[in-house]
Structure 1
Amino acid sequence: MNLPSPAAAQGLLRYLPTLALGTIGGSIAWLCHLPLPWLLGAMIATTLTSLAGIRLGSPGRARQAVLVIIGVMLGSAFTPELSGDLTSWVLSLAIMLAATAAMMVVAVWFSWRVAGQSLDTALYSGAPGGLSVLLLMAHESGADLRAVGISHAVRILVLLLAIPPILGAIGHIDLGSGSSMATQWLVMPAAEDIAWLIAAAVLGVWLGRLLRLPNRLLFGPALVSSVLHFTGITHAALPPLLVALAQVIIGTSVGVRFVGVALGDMARQLGLAVVQALMLTALAVLAAWLGHLLTGYSMAAALLAYMPGGAPELSLVALSLDIEPAFVTSHHLLRITVLILAMPILLGLIRRYLTRTRS
């Protein structure tokens, strides 16, 4: 058994005050009956603290563990009674890919022509999702990593803050505003089901690495868990308390991305990133409306599936609000896979374009 390294243990200790701050923010949001209280409360509290210039510890290994937990939870949504037929699902995936291409064109153009980024940086800033992989690829291409990171962080922040009012506007009323009783949070699966869930987590991490899945800590366990639940081997769901903890950790992981960002120095860049995120959100709403008309899926599910990026965050929102989590997760997995495969090709085309224009 591998014990945590001293560096990992120190990182966890540095994160504990951040976790406490996120929990306080989530608790206040829950007591105020806000929608998605644990996620948004933790995110807002840590974002404001980071922008105030206070350094917060990053989740690090805690976020990795939570991705595995979210993956297992998402797999539980893949039941034999999945709503919708295959034709509608495939049509929705095609709409999502077309919408993703349109969003990327708009985002890259905006980052390049309006924000003044280099074309390489604009490409990675405009890609809707897969930040961890994109940062590695951006580093190899010489793109501005800070601009790429801020663009994605602001986009996820805006998307998550926009979800409650948009869902309210389109008629999705039950936003999980904290009506659960505290005693319900402690409900635990049977011992046999716990064993199956642990097996899904362990085998999922191994399978994700073997298959080289994008965001393997999320999608590997989701794949194994979905097989276990779809075949009826287990019907277990994780306790709500663990779901709330996952929301807090994911919320803080968004907020701490703004550590070191000075409002005065970065006002223009942050403002442009917000404008870009709002443009993409509007495109996602339009695509969700079209997907709803053509496939019959709820506009709420289509919206979460088509939103540009933040697969763990948006999948967790779908799970927390019980909005077709299997449908949403499948769309984000396909989007990230296509993006990772397409990015080297797009980058090659951009470099040839730059070579021609400079010669």
Structure 2
Amino acid sequence: MAPFCRFLPTLVLGLVGGGFAYWLQMPLPWLLGAMLATTVASLLGCRLRSPGHARKGVLVVIGVMLGSAFTPDMSGDLSLWGASLVIMLLATAVMMVFSVWFSRRIAHHSLDTALYAGVPGGVSAVTGMALDSNADLRVVGMTHAVRILILLAAIPPVLKWVGHVSLQPTGMSLNQWLWLPSLTDAAWLAVAGTLGVLLGQRLRLPNALLFGPALISAGLHLSGLTHAVLPPTLIAMAQIVIGISVGVRFTGTSLAEVGHTLTMATLQAVILLLIAILAAWGIHALTGVSLAAALLAYMPGGAPELSLVALSLGIDPAFVTSHHLLRITVLILVLPVLLKHFQLVRD
């Protein structure tokens, strides 16, 4: 209970921020409200606590939710995914090349820092790998944090601009907020989460707590064994914890001390977002894939955050999740090869 008590003030701040955003009828209120409230507090010098183990639990919940988006009647759409996955990987390669070049030539970071900070996704795995390198961990962490912050903040205006999804707020009655699944459905969801964690860890999946439960839940829903969904209160709480997880990454950060790093990370994130928009527009023109879904699938990083956005807005979460899983897997496999190559060149 002690860690939870230390985290409680941060959670309350996230709840207040999310509730205020919901009252203002903002799009994605619980996620963006909690994120903005904790980000501002962090930059103002407040010592906020990370969700810690709570975030791990939320990743499992999000994974189960994402798996429920895979339904038996979606098989006809899978034929379009192949081309989109190829374009996504090409766009990821372009993003990686640009990010490393930008970090080296414009931001003047070391090669190790440029490589780890430039990876467009997999922030948890990449940060862990960077621990055994000569990379500046603060720059790596801040670059990824700023990128995710900008991507999430940009989603409402960008989606409104492309005009392929409605962001009109939808109010819910108290009865809808208090709805709970049946005991049978709750049991299926618990089985998906438990077995998913075991599967993800056994297979050593990237972000195992997210993608393991997503795979088991997808299998259960695709087979028709269950159509269970999670209650809206749990979905809102998941958004709040994820929003807090982004905001607290700026704890201990002073604008005066790290102004250069924040500026460079912001410029890099904006250009990566533009690359994602161009790639999404291209695949939409070629195949007719939803522009909004392609955009969320191609955005560089933040798999839990972007998959949760897709689920919250009903923008083909199965499509978005599949793309992020492939991207992270490829990046984690390729990054050691790149590091070894550059190390040989440098030596």
Q: TM (normalized to structure 1)?
A: 0.95
- Cα deviation for residue 85 of structure 1 reads 3.3
**Which amino acid in 2 is paired with 1:307?**
M
SS of the residue 2:256 aligns to: helix
2:11 aligns with 19
- The reply on whether 1:163 has 2:162 as its aligned counterpart is no
SS of the residue 1:179 aligns to: coil
Q: Decide whether aligned partners of structure 1 residues 264 and 236 sit closer, same or farther in structure 2, where only a CA change above 3 A counts.
A: same
Q: Please tell me whether the aligned partners of residues 37 and 177 of structure 1 are also in contact (alpha carbons under 8 angstroms).
A: no
- Structure 1 unmatched ranges of 5 or more: 1-8
- Cα deviation for residue 178 of structure 1 reads 4.5
Select the residue among 299, 302, 307 that pairs with 1:307: 299
- The reply on whether 1:59 has 2:17 as its aligned counterpart is no
- Cα deviation for residue 287 of structure 1 reads 0.6
2:248 aligns with 256
Select the residue among 206, 210, 223 that pairs with 2:202: 210
Q: Please tell me whether the aligned partners of residues 196 and 216 of structure 2 are also in contact (alpha carbons under 8 angstroms).
A: yes
Q: Decide whether aligned partners of structure 1 residues 35 and 76 sit closer, same or farther in structure 2, where only a CA change above 3 A counts.
A: same
| Aligned-partner Cα distance in 1 for 2:76–2:121 | 26
| Aligned-partner Cα distance in 2 for 1:114–1:354 | 20
2:263 aligns with 271
2:166 aligns with 174
How many residue pairs match? The answer is 347
Select the residue among 302, 310, 314 that pairs with 1:322: 314
Q: Please tell me whether the aligned partners of residues 165 and 292 of structure 2 are also in contact (alpha carbons under 8 angstroms).
A: no
1:115 aligns with 107
- Cα deviation for residue 84 of structure 1 reads 4.7
1:284 aligns with 276
- The reply on whether 1:234 has 2:226 as its aligned counterpart is yes
Moved more, 250-259 or 293-302: 293-302
| Aligned-partner Cα distance in 1 for 2:23–2:235 | 17
Q: Structure 1 segments of 4 or more deviating over 6 A? A: none
Q: Please tell me whether the aligned partners of residues 47 and 252 of structure 2 are also in contact (alpha carbons under 8 angstroms).
A: yes
- Cα deviation for residue 176 of structure 1 reads 5.6
2:33 aligns with 41
Q: Deviations over 1:169-190 (max 9, x none)?
A: 0003422624223321221111
**Which amino acid in 2 is paired with 1:184?**
Q
| Aligned-partner Cα distance in 2 for 1:291–1:84 | 18
1:94 aligns with 86
SS of the residue 1:140 aligns to: coil
Q: Please tell me whether the aligned partners of residues 64 and 214 of structure 2 are also in contact (alpha carbons under 8 angstroms).
A: yes
Q: Please tell me whether the aligned partners of residues 73 and 238 of structure 1 are also in contact (alpha carbons under 8 angstroms).
A: yes
- Cα deviation for residue 338 of structure 1 reads 0.2
Q: TM (normalized to structure 2)?
A: 0.98
Matches within 5 A, 1:213-224: 213-224=205-216
- Cα deviation for residue 314 of structure 1 reads 0.2
SS of the residue 2:47 aligns to: coil
- Cα deviation for residue 89 of structure 1 reads 0.5
**Which amino acid in 1 is paired with 2:335?**
M
Q: Deviations over 1:242-296 (max 9, x none)?
A: 1000000000000000001100011111011000000000000001101111221
1:3 aligns with none
| Aligned-partner Cα distance in 2 for 1:179–1:150 | 35
2:331 aligns with 339
Q: Please tell me whether the aligned partners of residues 30 and 178 of structure 1 are also in contact (alpha carbons under 8 angstroms).
A: no
| Aligned-partner Cα distance in 1 for 2:140–2:76 | 37
**Which amino acid in 2 is paired with 1:336?**
I
Select the residue among 337, 340, 344 that pairs with 1:352: 344
